[in-house]
């Protein structure tokens, strides 16, 4: 209505009436301009909010399965500030904080049972608050299964055997277990044979959510003789392999990679991702460092203290330049 009125004005009025009419028209035009600017600002703000929401949604849904998660809880993650526990309560606490990938240390007891323990050393028993609970002759060496399962961690937390880990996988169907079995040769084979046998007895589908770590290239062939896991992570922390050897291995086998922070540079990370690997680093407990490494293209982070929810609520991570 207003634009038509302005295009076809009424005949001018004489004297004060004419001036009053022009002032009214001027105010009307100014009011319209203000409303237009205001409307544009509102629309722009809504568009910006929508764009941010879609970006955040895209970040959350940038992958499925393993690719949906950034955080790997080292040793099941910390519980009340304590790390390396591999305890039942550590899993539950970190799961409730949004974490879905859990690295688990696995060792055999003195009587051949597979349990979640970082190492059989006196120092580890001290860190887990078990020195006073264990006889002197049992400190610094592998415990029996009964002693292990009946000795609380830090007086209140529950040790786990492999059956308990499988219980967790069944109860939490979106959780993944990354195994840390540092043995090689026959000792490694024995532990993985036991792991696979017990898992097959429980539910073969659980094997799709178990991700073995290997420590050298020949270990993959040994592992595949036992079971061909759909996902395998090659950890480079003790590997003598050159960058070229690692990349060639990825191209042949499709394994993923984890490595120490000091080996992660933009060039190597980029080449690993171009070869098809998902790239992790360990162990990172600082969000600023996580952001820096993500800008290099790193996909995931082994950590003692940072949760999946913290990554999201602290502003999230910018999308990588490489496809997932």
Confidence of residue 317 (pLDDT cuts 50, 70, 90): low
* pLDDT confidence of residue 4: 39
Strands 114-116 and 101-108: antiparallel
Question: What are the sequence ranges of the domains in the chain?
Answer: 13-56, 63-313
According to DSSP, residue 118 is labeled S
Are 226 and 248 within 8 A, CB to CB?
A: no
Mean pLDDT of the residues in the chain: 85
Nearest to 264 by CA among 303, 292, 304: 292
| pTM to 2 decimal places | 0.80
pLDDT at 52: 42
- Over residues 121-177, the pLDDT tens digits come to 999 999 999 998 888 888 889 999 999 999 999 999 999 999 999 999 999 999 999
Give whole-number Cα distances, 225 to 121, 222, 234, 242, 273, in Å: 31, 5, 17, 26, 27
In the chain the beta strands, taken as DSSP E runs, fall at 71-73, 101-108, 114-116, 176-180, 210-214, 233-235, 256-260, 279-282, 300-303
Q: Which two tokens stand for residue 139?
A: 């400190």
Strands (E), 54-166: 71-73, 101-108, 114-116
How large is the average pLDDT for residues 297-306?
Answer: 98
Q: What's phi and psi for 182, nearest 5 deg?
A: -85, 0
74-125 per-position pLDDT tens digit: 999 999 999 999 999 999 999 999 999 999 999 999 999 999 999 999 999 9
- The model's pLDDT over 198-251, given as tens digits with 9 standing for 90+, comes to 999 999 999 999 999 999 999 999 999 999 999 999 999 999 999 999 999 999
Nearest one of 134, 136, 165, 168 to 151, comparing CA atoms? 134
Question: Which residues have CB under 8 Å from 243's CB, separation 6+?
Answer: 268, 271
CATH topology of domain 63-313: TIM Barrel (3.20.20)
Q: How far apart are CA 207 and CA 203, in angstroms?
A: 8
DSSP of 186-233, one letter per residue? HHHHHHHHHHHHHHHHH-GGGGGGEEEEESSHHHHHHHHHH---S--E
């Amino acid at each position: 209505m207003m634009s038509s009125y302005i295009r076809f004005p009424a005949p001018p009025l004489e004297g004060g009436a004419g001036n009053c009419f022009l002032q009214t028209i001027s105010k009307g035009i100014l009011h319209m301009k203000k409303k237009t600017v205001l409307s544009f600002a509102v629309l722009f703000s809504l568009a910006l909010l929508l764009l941010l929401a879609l970006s955040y949604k895209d970040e959350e849904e940038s992958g499925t399965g393993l690719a949906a998660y950034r955080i790997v809880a080292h040793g099941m993650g910390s519980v009340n500030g304590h790390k390396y526990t591999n305890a039942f309560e550590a899993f539950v606490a970190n799961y409730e904080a949004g974490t879905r990938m859990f690295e688990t240390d696995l060792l055999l007891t003195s009587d051949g049972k597979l349990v979640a323990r970082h190492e059989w050393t006196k120092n580890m028993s001290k860190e887990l608050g078990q020195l006073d609970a264990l006889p002197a002759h049992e400190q610094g060496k592998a415990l029996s299964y009964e002693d292990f399962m009946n000795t609380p961690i830090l007086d209140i937390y529950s040790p786990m055997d492999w059956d308990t880990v499988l219980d967790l996988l069944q109860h939490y169907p979106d959780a993944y277990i990354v195994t840390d079995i540092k043995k090689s040769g026959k000792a490694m084979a024995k532990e993985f044979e036991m792991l696979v046998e017990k898992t097959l007895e429980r539910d073969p589908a659980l094997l799709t959510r178990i991700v073995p770590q290997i420590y050298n290239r020949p270990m993959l062939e040994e592992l595949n003789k036992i079971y061909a896991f759909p996902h395998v992570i090659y950890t480079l922390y003790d590997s003598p392999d050159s960058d070229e050897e690692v990349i060639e291995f990825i191209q042949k086998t499709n394994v993923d990679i984890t490595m120490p922070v000091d080996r992660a540079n933009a060039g190597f990370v980029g080449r690993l991702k171009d070869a098809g690997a998902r790239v992790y680093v360990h162990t990172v407990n600082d969000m600023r460092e996580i952001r820096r490494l993500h800008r290099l293209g790193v996909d995931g982070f082994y950590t003692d203290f940072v949760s999946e929810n913290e990554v999201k609520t602290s502003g999230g991570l910018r999308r990588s330049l490489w496809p997932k």
